[in-house]
Amino acid sequence: MILVTGGAGYIGSHTCIELINAGHKIVIVDNFCNSERKVIDTIQSITSSSVVCVDADVRDKQKLTGIFKNYPISAAMHFAGHKAVGESVAKPLSYYKNNIDSTLALCEVMDEFDVRKLIFSSSATVYDASNKMPLDEESSLGCTNPYGWTKLMIEQILRDLSISNDIWSIVSLRYFNPIGAHKSGKLGERPTGIPNNLMPYITQVASGKRDKLHVFGNDYPTIDGTGVRDYIHVVDLAEGHVRALDYARNHGGSQAINLGSGTGYSVLQIIEAFEHATNISIPYVIDPRRPGDIATCYAKTDKAKRLLNWQTQRSLAQMCEDSWRFESQK
């Protein structure tokens, strides 16, 4: 069985579906601080499978130990953690304590039970802002916010762990910008409050929940002056985790691997793609740049193709269509 921490979250839940589709049995552990309990029912409905879910904080070693005693765990996927960049700046101690402590607790219990295959949910925020594009896994590392630093620190912890004992097999997946939703329309990104990410904000404007989109800056050195990012369909991302698990089962050591499309799109290009896919106009205003934002960020994905035999399959149009289907069916 595969232990999935944070399995009720946006990326975790889609990965649970792909794990089940690939024939894996899963155990979800989640404290639902950033997710909804009904997501577990949705996973079961989509897959027509029963799912074990334990309501617990990953930092609770006693509960984790109980899971490992009760279920034949063979590997873990670690999604659990605080994830909002802005909030991490306001609450750095909370982010460092939660994200790092949960990883340490998980690794300690895994080690105790001789389970040493781990897929870690990292982020492209670990890359230094001064890098030239595209970013490959050898690009210089450095962060601009506590959230990113927690990811980079955890990557270092996991590298050190694999060096200390070569039985460990660890893959840190550096995500770029996940968007989209499950094709059923039943599962997608459910932000609380004002969305931090572009696509949920666009879909909320499209549904009338918000009157307009705020675009932060139009004077960047990009195709149209707005920020350029690498967007990846969440189901492509989930499939990348399944491939990473297959890799970890056959290889030792620690690897950091980008998961992105390898193509950058500007904010205005995303708006245009959404309007074309849905036939819905998205009003927007240009606001000043946000502190810390960079002009362009997109991935080089050769390593994922080489080691995982993985690349994105879903188009930008599909990302927009699936995002809107989920929003319109809520």
Catalytic residues, by residue number, are 147
The CA distance from 35 to 279, in Å, is 30
> Which residues face 284 on adjacent strands?
213
Alpha-carbon gap, residue 314 to 231, rounded angstroms: 11
With both helix axes pointing from N to C terminus, report the angle between 198-206 and 316-329 in degrees, rounded to the nearest 10. 50
**Neighbouring residues of 225: CB distance < 8 A, sequence distance ≥ 6:** 217, 218, 219
Q: What is the DSSP string of 165-234?
A: -TT-EEEEEEE-EEE---TTSS-----SSS-SSHHHHHHHHHTTSSS-EEEE-S-SSSSSSS-EE-EEEH
Going by C-alpha positions, the residue among 140, 181, 284 that lies closest to residue 226 is 284
Residue-wise burial string across 157-176, b where 16 or more C-beta atoms lie within 10 A, e elsewhere:
bbbebbeeeeebbbbbbbbb
Written as six digits, the tokens of 119 are: 């897929």
Among residues 144, 29, 42, 139, the alpha carbon closest in space to that of 79 is found at: 29
